[in-house]
Structure 1
Amino acid sequence: MSKKVSIKDIAKLTNTSITTVSFVLNGKGHISKEISKKILDTAKEIGYEPNRMAIGLRTGVSKVIGLVVENIGGPFFGEMSKVIEAEAEKSGYRIIYCSTDNQVNKGKEAIRMLTQQLVDGYIITPFKGLEEEVLKLIDQGKPVVLVDGYFPGLNISHVLVDNYNSVLKAVNCFIEGGYRNIGFVTSDLDLIQLDERLSGYKSALISNGIKENPALIFKLPYLLDKSEGLKQIKTFINTHPEMDAILFTTNYLGVMGIICVKELGLHIPQDLAFISFDDTEIFSVYPPGITTIQQPVYQIAKYGIDILLSQMKGSTPENAATKLQIASNLIERGSTVAKNES
């Protein structure tokens, strides 16, 4: 194993002192341009990488941001993370990623680990049970921005899609197409964004004079394995033959819904009109094309990292929280063609 390059090696190769090398690498002191260039070129040539933790301990600035999300491997969070990383790099920051799977213990452990790494700021996907940890970070003076959710009643900057109006518009799309027995499939997670999607569904029914049928609302346990989840969704669909349309509140539920409809031998939209939250490639290619609620992933990520960077630079007044809910885009495809046209 090759020895890690140190500032002592750079000092020896450039015939300068360790102090001079340290000053140049940390942008301090008044070192001539010629010597500075020689040191920086040598550091790059021999592959010198600074110890971020040591720098953080010495300066209080690690140039690292902690990103804590539900699942970094999922399409929504994966796309969002790419934007955040690219924007952070423009300002000289690197990202440490953590996934929580919406489990409180994993979330708490992720925040503890990032705290030990002395990260400069946090972007966190919140869920019930993490309030205390997030408030501790803020009390310690750490910049925090929440994405894809928020803590009701807490004055913390957050950016997410307008969940309520997104689903309201989607359900209205069903109703305008002649569908009135509309099923709603969601997760049993206690998340504000899912609560707001359910509220949007109920409000759309009420505003169109349709009586809510609680039996058409199905909450699938989040930690259920896929095969059991598919079985339960198929049972839900079979149990309600009167249901002529169905809305899935997350990407993974929508994909499971497509599988279930296919295995049950049903046709979209003749037997069951279909809408899913989040837009991925499978929804555009699966016949006849699945109508989706497209989240503004780039905008959510861009606003999130911009707000955090502003906080870290001290550009945001203390106790001032930025709270954004961004409109989604309903992409209408063949799965919601009006009844008299299907």
Structure 2
Amino acid sequence: MKDVAERAEVSLSTVSYVLNDSGPVAADRRARVLEAVRALGYTPNESARNLKRRSVATIGLVIPDLVNQYFAMIAEGVEQAAAEKDVLVVFCTPEATGDGESWNSRLLRSQRLDGLIYLSGANTRMESLVELTQVGPVVLVDEKLPGFSLPCVVSHNRRGAREIAAHLTSLGHERLAILSGPQELWTAEQRLSGYREAIAAAGLDPDAVPLFIGDYQMASGERLAETALSCSAEERPTALICANDQMAIGALSYCRRAGLRVPEDVSVVGFDDLPIASLLTPRLTTVRQPARELGMEAVKLLLGLVDGAEPVSPPPAPVTLKIRESTGPISAG
């Protein structure tokens, strides 16, 4: 800034007024400052500027991986909302390091972050999360964790699960099978509860519906679909309720391999509405979660906490049932 001031023949305060648009500057002086900035290739140090004005400079995002399209969409929302506030995001993916979240917590602490957004996974290590809460304010996104009264941003998993299971029963499906997510995750528990509520509302016994526990990964969906469907046509489930789109994609892969027609022989549903869901053959019936909006809301909540706001979680975001060609009436075959 001193070099800019000298070249433009103005004071440091004038340079600051121009760069921060924080005070009146005569047109000729503003033009000289901007010309000096261009000539010198000056770029303001955002960290220093933010420290001086005591506003947020950098936040962290801990995310299981960026291969899962749903996680990536949440990350896009975080990045978009942070960019609008001139905030830098440090991404940490536990699976990318052999030491996992312990390494990430050390990294985040060393960066002197203003706060963290935490997207948990099936392999979340609670001791690492405790370390992360010591860095600064922490906001959970898409999950709630037992034993932690942390503010969180989630969608209406239970309601979405009820709606998609009710869709199947309305088509006449009674022989159902549930391919669930990891039992220790809040989202999986909420979705399983919603499925069972809709099944009971249809006059069926939810305890009699076969339950297979997966890990939200495509491979587990394929493996569990093979287990669920490897029986006689008279006993085979006519519909698979998959806990997320990744598992549903795996289930569709098995059905193709086994020569089962979807939805004529078996209907398949997912949850999340990944971008690929509407591009599959057949297109996948699923529940749309506002992934990018969840990421953006998490940033808003976190920045409020940094400014001293009360840690109050917003209400669950609405979800939308998307009916496509992977489901059909029981009489279709």
> What residue in structure 2 maps to residue 86 of structure 1?
80
Secondary structure of the structure 2 residue equivalent to 1:203? helix
**Distance in 2 of aligned mates of 1:57 and 1:115:** 17
**Distance in 2 of aligned mates of 1:323 and 1:108:** 29
Secondary structure of the structure 2 residue equivalent to 1:96? strand
Does the C-alpha gap of structure 1 residues 72 and 239 become closer, same or farther in structure 2, counting only changes over 3 Å? Answer: same
> What residue in structure 2 maps to residue 3 of structure 1?
none
Does the C-alpha gap of structure 1 residues 154 and 280 become closer, same or farther in structure 2, counting only changes over 3 Å? Answer: closer
> What residue in structure 2 maps to residue 200 of structure 1?
194
Secondary structure of the structure 1 residue equivalent to 2:189? helix
Give, as a single letter, the amino acid of the residue that structure 2 aligns with 1:230.
Answer: E
Secondary structure of the structure 2 residue equivalent to 1:324? coil
**Distance in 2 of aligned mates of 1:168 and 1:9:** 64
Contact kept? 1:67, 1:98, Cα under 8 Å: yes
- Give the TM-score taking structure 1 as reference length: 0.79
Give, as a single letter, the amino acid of the residue that structure 1 aligns with 2:80.
Answer: A
**Distance in 2 of aligned mates of 1:38 and 1:73:** 48
**Distance in 1 of aligned mates of 2:97 and 2:199:** 33
> What residue in structure 2 maps to residue 245 of structure 1?
239
Does the C-alpha gap of structure 1 residues 45 and 97 become closer, same or farther in structure 2, counting only changes over 3 Å? Answer: farther
Secondary structure of the structure 2 residue equivalent to 1:303? helix
Q: Does 1:335 align with 2:326?
A: yes
Q: Does 1:164 align with 2:158?
A: yes
Secondary structure of the structure 1 residue equivalent to 2:270? strand
Q: Does 1:178 align with 2:172?
A: yes
- Among 231, 236, 257, the alignment partner of 2:228 is 236
Alignment of 1:36-75 (within 5 A): 38-39=32-33, 42-43=36-37, 46-50=40-44, 61=55, 63-75=57-69
> What residue in structure 2 maps to residue 148 of structure 1?
142
Secondary structure of the structure 1 residue equivalent to 2:331? coil
How far residue 14 of structure 1 moved from its aligned partner, in angstroms, is 4.8
How far residue 291 of structure 1 moved from its aligned partner, in angstroms, is 0.9
Cα deviation per residue 1:81-137 (whole Å; 9 max; x = unaligned)? 222222222221121222235999523432331221122222111357555555555
Does the C-alpha gap of structure 1 residues 259 and 85 become closer, same or farther in structure 2, counting only changes over 3 Å? Answer: same
- Among 107, 113, 121, the alignment partner of 1:113 is 107
Secondary structure of the structure 2 residue equivalent to 1:277? coil
Question: Mean alpha-carbon deviation: is it higher for 121-130 or for 157-166?
Answer: 121-130
Question: Mean alpha-carbon deviation: is it higher for 173-182 or for 332-341?
Answer: 332-341
How far residue 242 of structure 1 moved from its aligned partner, in angstroms, is 2.2
Does the C-alpha gap of structure 1 residues 28 and 282 become closer, same or farther in structure 2, counting only changes over 3 Å? Answer: closer
> What residue in structure 2 maps to residue 4 of structure 1?
none
Contact kept? 2:286, 2:321, Cα under 8 Å: yes
Alignment of 1:209-288 (within 5 A): 209-212=203-206, 216-221=210-215, 226=219, 230-239=222-231, 241-288=235-282
Does the C-alpha gap of structure 1 residues 325 and 12 become closer, same or farther in structure 2, counting only changes over 3 Å? Answer: same
- Among 309, 316, 324, the alignment partner of 2:315 is 324
Give, as a single letter, the amino acid of the residue that structure 2 aligns with 1:328.
Answer: V
Give, as a single letter, the amino acid of the residue that structure 2 aligns with 1:327.
Answer: P
Secondary structure of the structure 2 residue equivalent to 1:289? coil
**Distance in 1 of aligned mates of 2:154 and 2:231:** 34
How far residue 65 of structure 1 moved from its aligned partner, in angstroms, is 1.7
Name stretches of at least 5 consecutive residues in structure 1 with no aligned partner: 1-6
Name stretches of at least 5 consecutive residues in structure 2 with no aligned partner: none
- Among 280, 288, 293, the alignment partner of 1:299 is 293
Does the C-alpha gap of structure 1 residues 292 and 93 become closer, same or farther in structure 2, counting only changes over 3 Å? Answer: same
> What residue in structure 1 maps to residue 182 of structure 2?
188
Cα deviation per residue 1:170-198 (whole Å; 9 max; x = unaligned)? 11111111001111113336211111111
Secondary structure of the structure 1 residue equivalent to 2:206? coil
Give, as a single letter, the amino acid of the residue that structure 1 aligns with 2:229.
Answer: I
**Distance in 1 of aligned mates of 2:96 and 2:15:** 42
Contact kept? 2:175, 2:236, Cα under 8 Å: yes
Q: Does 1:123 align with 2:117?
A: yes
Secondary structure of the structure 2 residue equivalent to 1:326? coil
- Identical residues among aligned pairs (%): 22
Secondary structure of the structure 1 residue equivalent to 2:326? helix
Secondary structure of the structure 2 residue equivalent to 1:149? coil
